[in-house]
Each structure stands twice: as structure tokens, then as C-alpha cells.
Copies of this chain bind each other. A is one copy, B any other.
Amino acid sequence: MITQTFGGGGGRTAVASRYINGSRVVKNLLKRVASLFISISIGFGVLPAVAEDGYELWLRYEQLEARPADAPRHVMAACAEPSETLQAALAEIERATESLLGNSLQSTDRLRSRTLVLASADCADAIDEADLPTTEAVGAEGFALRATKLNGKRVTLIAAQSDLGVLYGTFDYLQRMSRGEALTDLDVISRPKTKLRLLNHWDNLDRHVERGYAGQSIWDWHRLPDYLDPKYTDYARANASIGINGVSLTNVNADATVLTAPYLEKVAALADIFRPYGIRIYLTARFSAPMELGGLDTADPRDAEVQAWWQAKVDEIYAHVPDFGGFLVKANSEGQPGPQDYERSHAEGANMLATALAPHEGIVMWRAFVYSAEEPEDRVKQAYTEFVPLDGQFADNVLVQVKNGPLDFQPREPFHPLFGAMPETPLMMELQITKEYLGFSTHLAYLGTLWEEVLSADTHAEGEGTSVASVIDGVAQEYELTGMAGVANIGSDRNWSGSVFDQANWYAFGRLAWDPDASSEAIARDWVEQTLSRAPEVADEITGMMMGSREAVVNYMTPLGLTHLMGTGHHYGPAPWVDDLGRADWTPYYYHKATKDAVGFDRTETGSGAVDQYAGPVAQEWASLDTVPDELLLWFHRVPWDYQLSNGQTLWQELVNRYDRGVSAVGVMQAQWASLENEIDVERFAQVSAFLGIQHQEAIWWRDASIAYWQSVNGLPLPEGAEPPAHDLDHYKSLSFPNAPGQGE
């Protein structure tokens, strides 16, 4: 499509359009053939880079430099009346090929040479069913892509058992084409390793997004259900393109209002848009809703009226949304109501909801992110302590949703000790795509590496080689239900995620939910090629930036196992000095306990003993100062400032070194990006440049404020060669950010 852009990138002109001052006769002659030429000139190479605001995400389908020799010419579905899902696939093919090839494939209703054929068990009239992949091979959602012959014609077959599988295969195929991969000998089978691949939106009904750094909620509740923003469809396309099959629309700090009839109508309107893309809707259930909406005196899960209220409410939801997915629940955590208010267990609470959902095949995702009002000696122990005894008590349609680490989405944490510790209870992993603790949307931090680190960690739960991924995907402990959830980083910003590179985190989440064993580097590279540039040297450079970016954040924020030192409430910027909040485990001080002599949290047997929540070999490695990796040192150990690390540096020297390394790494990213100025479109180039500038300033701020604080505690001089903080500690303490985005409300 051609559209006028009215943006700052408007300096570039897309068409070399010099007016031809010919006579009218000549002009008319020219016009008659112009429509022939335009397809070619637009087709290949004539157009320079265009204005680009990031709205298209990784589905830009930027025109290929040349039409691939093996590109199909025609497209068909293998049945006369393709479903809405197959129609969505066909529409995507039209859109993508027009953009990638300069013209879209021609529809055909018979097998011809060079046809792209879509076929499923429900749409196989035009092919031999034997050409479909078996259920054993692709399951309910997987697909096969094959360059093959049908009826003697060379075709490319996108085939699956289900129409949704075909849609996933279509997106996979088009993204391969978009990356410029050879398609001649295509022979791919892919199926998701997890069943539930969900985004969790922490979006309030007033459109404030808790921990959102990309504008306000994309759910325009006020104008729903009557106005259906085209953005909702593009959101569904983007999600389907990476295999996401469910969305929880509302904040886990839940508002029961979303369960009222007017809101259910709005929810139903979204469900209708998402359905062809295989995306089911889930809602967050406020545990006290029977009191707030139903006027009951209690929300006790054993109360018959409460149970009846939920059953009626669930039935009402399904009347609006027949394929409703179920509830996501945060209960007895950070002030949310829950079953413990009535001295019932999490299992009883979850099962009460599960009972109401079961007749409709709905599920409950019950979050394990809990910590009691009583302030246990070590907050990171609590989820394990509370949930392990409940193993085996949850209904079959309940999953327990566990954050990747035992604290709260820090730049680095060890994997959560619950993984592997609840063999009778399916555990979903909850990742945070939005970067609450990693610099919001202005810091470049590719999270694929963080997630891969967790997923590939060995729990030893069923012996050596029991990776977290193998727990999550159900293989290790034979879970029937499996899933991954990502806390969305999506908002009303034009580029969806607040920054170009945060789009990569959305993308990587989907890819890893599909395959928790995938390589974060391969995912990054795919994203770069689809989103920024197919040029190999450019893609190399950007992939390299991404792969090192999270470690840079760890280094300038919380090196060597330090954690949760962010500014209170908003989590923006450093505040290691804060030690006076309502409860100790909300303060940064709680997590480092720095004194003149030592720093770190002793979680060994001499301390909280949290390390013993891990399986033997893991606990052993991390409990010993000799074997604990430097990256987790201060997470598990309290260490003197002059403790000598294996590299010969003292703790203090190494700490300062790491801060410097983090700052330098951002400087290197700036230089790398600057070198790409001619390779990237103007608007995105400028935004990334500006954000890297912010990140560099803030990395220095983190380093300097942290060092100034540690020095105020340990009284040590700076290691030789280290740059002193730009300001004194009082300056850093004086900064306040009342309007930092994304705060809880």
C-alpha cells in the first residue's frame, strides 16, 4: 500500500518523482503503459528506504531484493469453503507476498504448478489426505511445510491437522520468505511443546497499565463493543505469527467490574476478533467478586452460595464467549483477597473456580507469587514453602503459574525452586516481557538470553538433565497441561512496545513458549532479519548487540547476585539506600544488608537456608563459596568486601569493575548502532539512538549512585583507575520521580 506519512521521518522521499513536462499526448501515451511499469519499478530495487514507525512489528515483509526463483505464483486452499482461520491465512499470504514480491499470489481453485496449497483435515478436498501430516507428527496445532509434487505439479504445501495449524504454518512460511531463506527444498515439521502460550496484560479498566511503558492499554473499553479498532486485528495477527494462543486481558490486581454484563459484551467483541487467529480470552478473577458484585457476605470457597455465584458467573461468561479460556488469579498476595482470608488453602480456592469452569473445559491459572503479610525471614522461600505441601491437591484443570525466579523479575535470579518440586501439579512459567526492573522501554535489553538461561537450567529434579524447560513442557514430570505466560509489554504507543527492541521481547516470548529449548540467538537473528535488516553484516551486528544487552543491564544495575535495588514503587533508577518502608522485604536494604564489613544475603544453612529448596546437586553447588557462580554470589552468600574472587580481584574491586563494564557495554552498543545509520530507516534509527543515549546516561547514574552508596557504607577507596561518582550520595538520594510511568494504582 501507499500512504502519506506525516511524520518526522518525512525528510526522505520514497519515490524519485521528477515531473515529466511532456505534452498531453505524450503523457497520455505514457499513462497507458505506466501501469505495466509501475509494478516492476515498485517491484524491485527502485524504491529507497521508507518511513517506518514500527507499527508493523516483525511482519514488515520488506520487499525482497529479487524475486526468489522458487517463489510460488498461485495460492489455494484445498477446499471450497475455507474457515475464517484459513481465510485469515489467505489474507496474510496476499498481504505478505504483495509486499515481499511486489505482487500478491494469484488465487486458483485447481492444482497448478507453483501453487502454495493450504490443507488441513477439515480442508482437504483438493488433495489426497495422505499428504497431510499425521496427528502423531504435528498434534493439534503443529504444521508441516513441504516443497513437493501433488498430481505431478510442483507445489508448496502448508498442511496440518487443524486450520489453526495451517495458519501457524502460513506465518512460519511467510516469515521464512521474509528472512530471505531458500524455500526450494522446504521440509519442515513444527509443533508447539506447550499447550498454553499466553500473554498476561496487566491492564486496568481505566487504561492504566501497571508496569506498562508503552502508553496506555490498547483495550479501549469505553468505545467497545461498538468500535473495533483495526489494531485489535493486527494484535491478533502478530500473536498468531509467533504461536500465542491466549490472552488474559486484565490486571492480576483485578477489578471485578470486568465480570459484569456490560464488560462481558466488550470482552465478547474482542473474542470474536481473536477467534479466527486461535486466540482465546482469559480474565483475571477477583476472589472477592461474589461480595462486590453478588452482594454476598463472604467469598469463602466452601460456601455454597459462593460456589453457586461463581458457577452462574462462569455460565454467563460462556454465554458471551463460548470459547472462553478461564481465569488467571492472584490471591492472597500483595493485598489481594483470597482463600486464606477464610483459612482455606490456595488449592481449595483454585479448585472452587476450577469446578465452575470444568463443564466448559475452562482452566484456572493460579499464581504462586505470594508472600504473606507476616514477613517471613526470607521472602524468596515463601512460594515453595506454601505450595509444595499442596502438590497433588489441585484439580485437573488448574495450573500453578510460577515466575521464572523466586523473587520478582529481576535482571538476574536463579530459577524458581518450585520448578521440579511439584511433580503432581502442572506448573506454568510466568515471564515478564515488560521491563519493570530492566530500565523500562528505553533500555535495550533483549530478554531472550535471560529466559534461555532459566529454561536451560538443570533442576536435577528427576536426575541430571532435568532442565526447567523439560518441567515446563511436561516431559519431565508428565504434566497433562503445560504452558508459558508472558506479562505483555504492549500499549497504545504506535510501535506497540514503546521501543523497537522491546518488540523483540514480545517475539522471543512467543517463540520460546512454542519451543522452550529454542536458541535465543537464533530467535534474535530471525527477529532482526524480519524487522530491521536482512543484510547479513547488519543482522550480525544487531544480533550481537542484543545478545550482550541483558548482561550489560545486570552489570550496571545489580552485578554479582545483588538484586532488587531499584527505586521504591516505580522501580526506576537506583535506590540501594532505602531501608524504611512499611515492610522490610520491600526495601532494597533487605536484599543486600550491606555493612562496613560485608554485603549479601546469606541463604545457606548459616542464613535463611533458601538454597536447600533446590535439589541436592544444585543446592550443593550454590551453597558453597567455592562453586557458586560469581553471578549468584551475593544472592546466596554474605561476603566480606575484601573477599577474593577466583579472578584474583576483591569483591569490592570486582563490583566496581562490573559496574564499569555495564556502562562500557552500553557505550559500545551506541557505537555499533551509530555505524548502522545508513542501513536503518530514519525514524526507527533516531528513536533507538535517543534511547541508547538515555540508557547510557542512566547506566552511569546506576553505577555512580550505587558506588557512592556502597562507599558510604564500607568506607573503602575506589579501586585504582575507577572513575569517582559524578555527584555525592545526597544528590542521588534527593532525586524523586513522582510521575514515573507504570506504577501500581
Contact = CB atoms under 8 A, between A and B. Distances in A.
A56 interface: yes
A234 B7 contact: yes
Interface string A201-239: 000011100000001100001110011111101100000
Contacts of A17: 38-39, 42-43, 98, 102-103
A226 B739 contact: no
Interface string A13-41: 11111111000000100110111111111
B38 A38 contact: yes
A294 to B, nearest CB: 16
Contacts of A98: 13, 17
A689 to B, nearest CB: 9
Interface in A681-700: 683, 686-687, 690-691, 693-694, 697
Given A14-B1, A56-B4, A33 B37 contact: yes
B15 A687 contact: no
A286 to B, nearest CB: 14
Interface in A57-74: 57, 59-62, 67
A34 B15 CA distance: 11
Contacts of A95: 10
A54 to B, nearest CB: 10
Interface stretch (A45-53, A141-149, A183-191, A609-617): A45-53
B40 A46 contact: no
A260 to B, nearest CB: 10
Nearest to A740: B222
Contacts of A7: 55, 230-231, 234
A738 interface: yes
Nearest to A19: B103
A36 B20 contact: yes
Nearest to A105: B19
A5 interface: yes
Contacts of A101: 19
A465 interface: no
Contacts of A35: 16, 41, 46
Most buried by B among A6, A13, A42, A739: A6
A109 to B, nearest CB: 19
A50 B20 CA distance: 24
Contacts of A45: 31
A479 interface: no
A588 to B, nearest CB: 21
Contact of A31 (B41, B51, B67, B492): B41
A44 interface: yes
Contact of A691 (B1, B11, B227): B227
A104 B10 CA distance: 13
B226 A47 contact: no
Given A1-B14, A3-B51, A33-B37, A693 B226 contact: yes
Shortest 4 CB-CB contacts between residues of A and residues of B: A8-B230, A34-B41, A17-B39, A6-B56
Given A15-B42, A216-B216, 11 more contacts: A2-B3, A2-B14, A3-B51, A6-B56, A6-B57, A6-B234, A31-B45, A205-B738, A207-B739, A222-B739, A492-B492
